[in-house]
């Protein structure tokens, strides 16, 4: 249960990072790609440091929580962005659009999992997932007339992805709690039958 709670908080932190990055892109749509790369690199290094400190601080209570892997990955990604910002700047819009699309695909998996569990709110996540994926695909196609406009729409995509990640997390958490309660009730009923 502790591991599950830890994973939830990790997902919340990632959602906050999505919203923060989206906010930067919306607030500074005219900034150059290199400048945005520096901002992303700084956020990644900061987030990586937070995950690593959390891992060291809470060990061994956070075993299998993924903090070490997430922290090291973000830290290395942030350093890579600073070292190779010129090369990465050209790929930045495509990479960000891909992340928005992936966010939608992950939500689609959650909706299918909830459908298989016969949880009634699976359709809510399904609709969110479709909207998220379609928006991401539009960003990948890039029909926009300027980099500034693309950056604004990327920002909106990240904010929406981050906020809907939190909504999906709440729904999935409730579904898992409901599943555990049903399993415990079934186990309790079987034990009563054995006693009789």
With cut-offs at 50, 70 and 90, classify the pLDDT of residue 61: low
* Dist CA 72 CA 49 (whole Å): 8
pTM attached to this predicted model: 0.74
Alpha carbon dihedral 6, 9, 10, 13, in 10-degree steps, equals -160
pLDDT value at residue 128: 94
Contact of 108 with 133, CB cutoff 8 Å: yes
CA 114 to chain centre: 18
pLDDT value at residue 177: 83
Residue 22 pLDDT more than 60? Answer: yes
Contact of 69 with 107, CB cutoff 8 Å: no
* Dist CA 143 CA 5 (whole Å): 40
Higher per-residue confidence, 35 vs 111: 111
Residue 48 pLDDT more than 70? Answer: yes
Contact of 43 with 17, CB cutoff 8 Å: yes
Segment 90-148, tens digit of pLDDT: 888 888 899 899 999 989 998 998 898 888 889 999 999 999 999 999 999 988 888 88
Peptide bond into 60 cis (omega under 30): yes
Residue 146, helix vs strand vs coil: coil
State the average pLDDT for the chain: 83
23 phi and psi angles, rounded to 5 deg: -60, -40
Residue 65 pLDDT more than 60? Answer: no
Residue 196 pLDDT more than 60? Answer: no
């Amino acid at each position: 249960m502790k591991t599950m709670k830890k994973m939830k908080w990790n997902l919340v932190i990632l959602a906050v990072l999505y919203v923060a990055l989206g906010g930067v892109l919306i607030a500074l749509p005219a900034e150059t790609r290199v400048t945005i790369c520096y901002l992303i690199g700084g956020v990644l290094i900061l987030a990586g440091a937070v995950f690593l400190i959390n891992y060291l601080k809470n060990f061994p209570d956070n075993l299998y929580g993924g903090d070490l892997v997430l922290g090291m990955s973000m830290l290395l990604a942030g350093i890579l962005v600073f070292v190779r910002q010129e090369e990465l700047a050209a790929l930045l819009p495509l990479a960000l659009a891909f992340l928005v699309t992936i966010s939608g695909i992950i939500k689609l998996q959650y909706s299918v999992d909830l459908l298989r569990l016969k949880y009634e709110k699976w359709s809510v996540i399904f609709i969110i997932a479709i909207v998220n994926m379609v928006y991401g695909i539009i960003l990948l196609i890039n029909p926009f007339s300027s980099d500034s406009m693309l950056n604004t729409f990327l920002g909106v995509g990240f904010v929406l992805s981050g906020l809907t990640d939190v909504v999906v997390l709440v729904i999935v958490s409730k579904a898992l709690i409901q599943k555990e309660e049903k399993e415990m009730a079934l186990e309790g009923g079987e034990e009563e039958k054995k006693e009789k």
